[in-house]
Chains A and B, each alone.
Chain A
Amino acid sequence: MSSALRKEQNRTIGALLIPALAVIIVFTTVPALTTLSYALFSWEGFQRSTFVGFENFQKLFAYPYLDQLIAALRHNTTAFVVIMTFQTSLGLLFAYAMFRVRRGLRFYRVVVFLPVIFSLVVVGYLWQSLFDPYYGPVNQIIAGIGFPELAKPWLGDTSTALPTLMLINLWRWVGFPAIVFLAGLNAVNSEYIEAARIDGASEGQIFRRIIFPLLAPSLTIITVLTFIGAYEWFDLPFVIGGSNGSPAGATDTLALMFYRLSFGSIDSGANNVGVGSALGVLIFTLVGLGAAFGSALLRKREVEQ
């Protein structure tokens, strides 16, 4: 290729990149840098006051914010581990079942994916009423089948609120990894599977030794997206537990804490944009670095077909 042609090509590529780049700069880079600058000032309500250096970060790492930060971080991490373990495994199981099913694939695909397209606010209220300790059918069923002592206030007890929330999250989201894995399974070259079968490999061996390794690219995507989703978890906890992570902060997350600090809670007053921004910086550093390292690490383990 001549250098003139190459230059021409580079220019075209550059021109095509501009719109996407502009969007990223305007909506991601600039807000991120602005947040960083906000974190270095003290604030009176929504008005920027004096430069205070890293004082907002110091405040974030002291009582009472530190306690909330540790609890929120623990909840986010729990959510990541649990969602990754159960939701992803179940998604893979559904995908494999749909991959092997002989009839009605379209039906199963719709059923598994349907909750993903429901409005999250509706999902939140629906499950909240299902779990209502007074009128909800969940507890009535539990009591009805002879275990009244297990009819707990699922979303109101500090020990069960987060697990219940993760269960709702699983119901709502499991279709997403299922569809991604199904696409991955369909991309696996069927000749490998046939060859293995001719060599006498069992169903389990085929899944473990051939299909699963070839699904690695799908797993990378799901892992990275689950990581980002879990550490920026906001919508479902907000709909169910409110901005304070009710009960008693048991469902608090980093994003809820950020929202509360930056905009103030209507019921408990004053905001603190400075400390909120410091937390914002912490969240995007954590999520950005985690996602970058995670995907780099996982990419290395992928095998070529």
Chain B
Amino acid sequence: MKISKTRGLVAALFAAVTVVAPGASIASANTEITFWSWRTEDKAFYENQMRLFEAKNPGITVKFTPYLNTEYNAIVATALTAGKGPDVIQMRPYGGMANLSDAGNFMPLTTADVPALKKLPVGILAGAQGYKDKKQYGLPYAVSALGVMYNPDILEKAGVRALPQTWAQLQIAFEKVKKAGFLPLGNAGGNGPALEQLHATIGPTFYGGTAFFNDVVAGKKTFTDKGYVASLKAVADLAKWMPANYQGIDYNTARGLFANEKAAFYIGGNYEIGYFRSLNPSITVGWFPAPKATAGAKRYVGTWADGAYAINSKTTQKVAALKLINFLGTKEFGQALVDEIAFIPTAPYVKINDPAVKEINRWRTTLGTPFLNVVGFRFESPTSSSILQPGFQKLIVGGTTPEQLAKDVQTAVASWYAPQKGKS
């Protein structure tokens, strides 16, 4: 009786262990890792890629779960803070999740573990580093680039023969388009973030691109710098080329004006091209880098890391998770990113076939400059973006001046960013 009781107990315990931790008891046979993302729209793409990964790595299965974009940060933060969460995490760039990195939620990655990191430029690597310790916590997978998109058919009808190289030439092109009966610029003012991206596209040539970025990050220059004020004014000057009642036109309507071939130009990121094509599959989209402020100025293409892949520091499947990260850094995965969902991958040796994406990437590699707010100042509140987004909406209707807006940004950033403290 006694023996059978003990045996029963052992059997029950064994059963409990296998039920509670199936992964641990049969790890050698099959390892399941979990992978979270905010790209619900790319679910089919990722699931397909995971099957390819599984085929190359027998014994590992990946469960991919995307969450709603707007709720993703809160879900990830809650899970990680509670000591849970997936093994592999799609990580927001720069300030988007740097606070989670600083709190030790992600596993630091070394170039020995993830050789693909060696091939990435500094500004892109920064997209997945801790704000405080500057350690590498993620592998950035794609980059975004800002520029001027145009409709070649409208430009031809309006008699614009050459693409504008300078700010003055751009104004002439706008004028010609207007005379031909088309809308010069599709951008509008209903959406603060879209105006911020507009500024990040056309602004760098006015404030001096990367040199100014480095100076303002180091605290050597401030946002009240003459060049930066001029870049804000340039946004205000574009308002007159926007559609009538531009203040109230929302993001989708604005993009729709370009997609439906009413507007000749749209200023923004490469990721808009996919949206334009989804609305109007027959549209031809041309692309050129923002024109220079004056004949002597330089041109820039605003760019930043779009996101990264990271490993939960509390994972029990470190080896398998690293295998997945390395798979996500391969040329094959990068090729699929551009071919299937039109992202510009960070992975080298990728062949870009799409002519628009190819052109964007060519200019990005030669004229790239960091997106000032995203790369530099989104780490603590109030971020520069939180001042600029409503600020631009005021600026384009004359509710504030470029000088005042620049001052507001400086005060906000100086309240938390050490190198700018006490400066105005």
The answer on A and B forming one complex is yes
Q: Residues of A with Cβ closer than 8 Å to B?
A: 44-47, 62-65, 128, 131-135, 139, 151-158, 244-249, 260-261, 263-272, 275
Interface pair B245/A64, CB less than 8 Å apart: no
Nearest residue in A to B99 (C-beta to C-beta)? A45
**Interface size for chain B: under 10, 10 to 19, 20 to 34, or 35 or more residues?**
35 or more
Q: Does B74 contact A (CB under 8 A)?
A: yes
Write the nearest CB–CB distance from A99 to chain B, whole angstroms: 40
Interface pair A153/B245, CB less than 8 Å apart: yes
Interface pair B389/A158, CB less than 8 Å apart: no
Pick the contact of B193: A134, A153, A261, A267 (CB < 8 A).
A267
Interface pair B243/A134, CB less than 8 Å apart: yes
Give the residues from 289 to 312 in chain B that come closer than 8 angstroms, CB to CB, to chain A.
none
Nearest residue in B to A132 (C-beta to C-beta)? B253
Q: Does B353 contact A (CB under 8 A)?
A: no
Interface pair A246/B378, CB less than 8 Å apart: no
Interface pair B399/A65, CB less than 8 Å apart: no
Interface pair B386/A268, CB less than 8 Å apart: yes
The complex places the Cα of A247 from the Cα of B248 at a distance, in Å, of 8
Contacting residues, chain A, for B380 (C-beta < 8 A): 270, 272
Of the listed stretches B18-26, B172-180, B184-192, name the one at the interface; the rest are far from the partner chain: B184-192
Closest 10 CB pairs of A and B: A156-B248, A153-B248, A45-B99, A269-B378, A133-B245, A248-B393, A268-B385, A153-B245, A156-B247, A267-B193
10 residue pairs A–B, Cβ–Cβ below 8 Å: A46-B74, A63-B415, A65-B382, A135-B253, A158-B393, A246-B192, A247-B189, A266-B73, A267-B389, A269-B386
Q: Residues of B with Cβ closer than 8 Å to A?
A: 69-70, 73-74, 77-78, 81, 94-96, 99-100, 102-103, 189-193, 196, 243-250, 253, 257, 374, 378-383, 385-387, 389-391, 393-394, 397, 399, 408, 411-412, 415
Write the nearest CB–CB distance from A50 to chain B, whole angstroms: 14
Nearest residue in B to A151 (C-beta to C-beta)? B245
The complex places the Cα of A249 from the Cα of B103 at a distance, in Å, of 32
Write the nearest CB–CB distance from B64 to chain A, whole angstroms: 21
Interface pair A156/B103, CB less than 8 Å apart: no
Contacting residues, chain B, for A46 (C-beta < 8 A): 74, 77-78, 81, 99
Contacting residues, chain B, for A249 (C-beta < 8 A): 390
Interface pair A268/B245, CB less than 8 Å apart: no
Interface pair A244/B99, CB less than 8 Å apart: no
User: Given A46-B99, A65-B382, 15 other A-B contacts at CB below 8 A?
Assistant: A44-B103, A46-B74, A64-B412, A134-B249, A244-B389, A244-B390, A245-B390, A247-B397, A248-B393, A266-B73, A268-B193, A268-B383, A269-B386, A270-B381, A272-B381
**Secondary structure type dominating chain A contacts:** loop
Contacting residues, chain A, for B381 (C-beta < 8 A): 261, 264, 269-272, 275
Q: Given A63-B412, A156-B249, answer yes or no on A47-B385 (Cβ-Cβ < 8 Å).
A: no
Best-buried of A128, A156, A268 by chain B (most CB within 10 Å): A268
Interface pair B100/A269, CB less than 8 Å apart: no
Contacting residues, chain A, for B250 (C-beta < 8 A): 128, 132
The complex places the Cα of A190 from the Cα of B75 at a distance, in Å, of 58
**Secondary structure type dominating chain B contacts:** helix
Q: Given A44-B102, A244-B192, answer yes or no on A157-B247 (Cβ-Cβ < 8 Å).
A: yes
Nearest residue in A to B132 (C-beta to C-beta)? A44
Interface pair B248/A270, CB less than 8 Å apart: no
Write the nearest CB–CB distance from A140 to chain B, whole angstroms: 12
Contacting residues, chain B, for A265 (C-beta < 8 A): 386
Interface pair A158/B399, CB less than 8 Å apart: yes
Contacting residues, chain A, for B257 (C-beta < 8 A): 134
Nearest residue in A to B81 (C-beta to C-beta)? A46
Interface pair B245/A156, CB less than 8 Å apart: yes
Contacting residues, chain B, for A152 (C-beta < 8 A): 245, 248
Q: Given A45-B103, A267-B385, A268-B385, answer yes or no on A133-B394 (Cβ-Cβ < 8 Å).
A: no
Contacting residues, chain A, for B415 (C-beta < 8 A): 62-64
Write the nearest CB–CB distance from A136 to chain B, whole angstroms: 9
Interface pair A264/B385, CB less than 8 Å apart: no
Contacting residues, chain B, for A271 (C-beta < 8 A): 381
Pick the contact of A247: B73, B190, B196 (CB < 8 A).
B190
Contacting residues, chain A, for B253 (C-beta < 8 A): 132, 134-135
Write the nearest CB–CB distance from B13 to chain A, whole angstroms: 37
The complex places the Cα of A103 from the Cα of B250 at a distance, in Å, of 45
Write the nearest CB–CB distance from B389 to chain A, whole angstroms: 6
The complex places the Cα of A272 from the Cα of B380 at a distance, in Å, of 8
The complex places the Cα of A154 from the Cα of B103 at a distance, in Å, of 45
Contacting residues, chain B, for A158 (C-beta < 8 A): 247, 393-394, 397, 399
Best-buried of B96, B245, B257 by chain A (most CB within 10 Å): B245
Interface pair B391/A45, CB less than 8 Å apart: no
The complex places the Cα of A284 from the Cα of B393 at a distance, in Å, of 31
Write the nearest CB–CB distance from A87 to chain B, whole angstroms: 24
Pick the contact of B408: A64, A134, A155, A156 (CB < 8 A).
A64
Write the nearest CB–CB distance from A120 to chain B, whole angstroms: 17
Interface pair A269/B247, CB less than 8 Å apart: no
Interface pair B247/A247, CB less than 8 Å apart: yes
Contacting residues, chain B, for A260 (C-beta < 8 A): 386
Q: Given A152-B245, A266-B69, A271-B381, answer yes or no on A44-B390 (Cβ-Cβ < 8 Å).
A: no
Interface pair B385/A269, CB less than 8 Å apart: yes
Contacting residues, chain B, for A47 (C-beta < 8 A): 81, 99, 103
Q: Given A46-B81, A134-B243, answer yes or no on A248-B386 (Cβ-Cβ < 8 Å).
A: no
Pick the contact of B190: A45, A156, A264, A266 (CB < 8 A).
A156
